Amino acid sequence: MPSRRHVLSLLSAAPFSPALTACAEAALPDPYAAWRAPGAGETDTRRFALAHAILAPNPHNTQPWLVELSDPDAMTLYCDLDRRLPFTDPLDRQITIGCGCFLELYSMSAGLQNYWPAIEFFPEGEPTPRLDARPVARVTLGPRQAQPNSDPSTLEIANRRTNRNPYQTRVPSAEALDELVNVVVGMGEEYTGGVYWTNDPARVAQGRDLVWRAWDRELRTEGAAAETFEWLRFGRRAIAEHRDGLGMSGAGIELFKLLGQLDRDDLIDPDSQANQTAARNWREMAMNSPAFLWITSTGDTPSARLNAGRAYARLALAAANMGLALHPWSQALQEYEEMADLRGEMRDFLAPPEGETVQMLVRIGYAEASAPSARRDVQDLMRA
């Protein structure tokens, strides 16, 4: 019988690598179907664009989106308020970024069918301090244009992944990193923040230490660990049933489920053997980060966060197009009390210009391709 230590090392090694194999539970939908030829055969451009938008990066893969298609050429986006992360994201800042990513993918993919949509943020007013039941955005397709969107990054929508594999020692060049900066600068007036990076070994070493300490702090903060636990999906059946959250699958997980060895107490106790092993793996990921890149917004309003999400989505697609792997490390950017000192340390370290707020921080480099994460169907997003 496998030892508990072995089980737990599998657990921590696999947390974010869903198996690519089709779901064995025949009665359940394939949780990865959304990634294959999104929108194929769809004649309504809005539904075609939604089939792409649902592939957007979003915190903990909660997929916090609800949509309405009541007017013929419009899509109204709402936040699914039950899919937020109130402990680690008390201001809904990251959830709002995830909505921005969704809007960007919607817009880029509508462009494949010659539409250049107009996006109006918060048409019934900006919510504060958190998101509320009012719409996040209203997107209108407008008249069909002669030219389609020919940006090659758009074709990466179904290939983009958050890559949590080990990263090679190869360091991305200044030219490559600047190319990503230019992708966001190229958004023009649509984006008013900044993109910064470092591949300087001394500075990267400091960043590694800081992202690692923040990860560890999060593990040791009970409310945060408990919240993450709610979004972990153990094994193929759970992944296929939910088609959201952070999937863990593979032979080890199935075996441990059978043996009843994945219990909540163990997984939220920071000193359990499971978490000690997970921490070793995550520390290694942090310590092997070849470079860091961060996106800021001017101000930190809900609209600024949506724009940061749009910029992150664009940048992530361009990175995919360039063969670069990305992996956000958001812990030290989060606003909960137990993180306050490390948040301050991170702000000092990243030193954004006066008036700018760091919205996304990622490690960036080269790694083996990673597996897709689960997605629900577009139909699941329709507001009743």
Distances (CA, A) of 113 to 51, 110, 142, 157, 206: 13, 5, 12, 15, 45
Q: Provide, rounded to whole angstroms, the least separation between the CB of residue 2 and ligand FMN.
A: 26
Contact assessment for residue 368 and residue 160, using Cβ atoms and an 8 Å cutoff: no
Q: Bridge partners of 291?
A: 364
Q: Determine if 235 is a binding residue for ligand FMN (CB under 6 A).
A: no
Q: Which is nearer to ligand FMN, 59 or 252 (CB)?
A: 59
| Interactions with ligand FMN, residue window 31-60 (CB under 6 A) | 57-60
| Interactions with ligand FMN, residue window 154-183 (CB under 6 A) | 161-162, 164
10 φ, ψ (degrees, to nearest 5): -65, -45
Q: Which residues does 42 contact at the CB level (< 8 Å), separation at least 6?
A: 48, 51
| Interactions with ligand FMN, residue window 122-141 (CB under 6 A) | none
Q: Determine if 149 is a binding residue for ligand FMN (CB under 6 A).
A: no
By CB under 6 A, how many residues form the interface with ligand FMN? 19
Q: Determine if 373 is a binding residue for ligand FMN (CB under 6 A).
A: yes
| Interactions with ligand FMN, residue window 65-94 (CB under 6 A) | 94
Q: Determine if 207 is a binding residue for ligand FMN (CB under 6 A).
A: no
Q: Provide, rounded to whole angstroms, the least separation between the CB of residue 373 and ligand FMN.
A: 4
Rounded CA separation 249/220 (Å): 24
Q: Determine if 307 is a binding residue for ligand FMN (CB under 6 A).
A: no
Q: Which is nearer to ligand FMN, 141 or 319 (CB)?
A: 319
Contact assessment for residue 171 and residue 365, using Cβ atoms and an 8 Å cutoff: yes
Q: Cα 257 from chain centroid?
A: 27
Q: Determine if 233 is a binding residue for ligand FMN (CB under 6 A).
A: no
Q: Provide, rounded to whole angstroms, the least separation between the CB of residue 114 and ligand FMN.
A: 27
DSSP string, 130-185: S--SS-SEEEE--SPPSSPP--GGGGGTTT-----SPBPSPPPPHHHHHHHHHHHH
DSSP string, 88-120: T-TTSHHHHHHHHHHHHHHHHHHHHTT---EEE
Q: Which is nearer to ligand FMN, 99 or 141 (CB)?
A: 99
Q: Out of 9, 12, 45, 61, name the contact with ligand FMN by CB under 6 A.
A: 61
Q: Bridge partners of 313?
A: none
| Interactions with ligand FMN, residue window 325-344 (CB under 6 A) | 327-331
Q: Which is nearer to ligand FMN, 328 or 365 (CB)?
A: 328
Q: Which is nearer to ligand FMN, 161 or 343 (CB)?
A: 161
Rounded CA separation 337/221 (Å): 10
Residues near ligand FMN, by CB under 6 A: 57-61, 94, 97-98, 101, 161-162, 164, 246, 327-331, 373
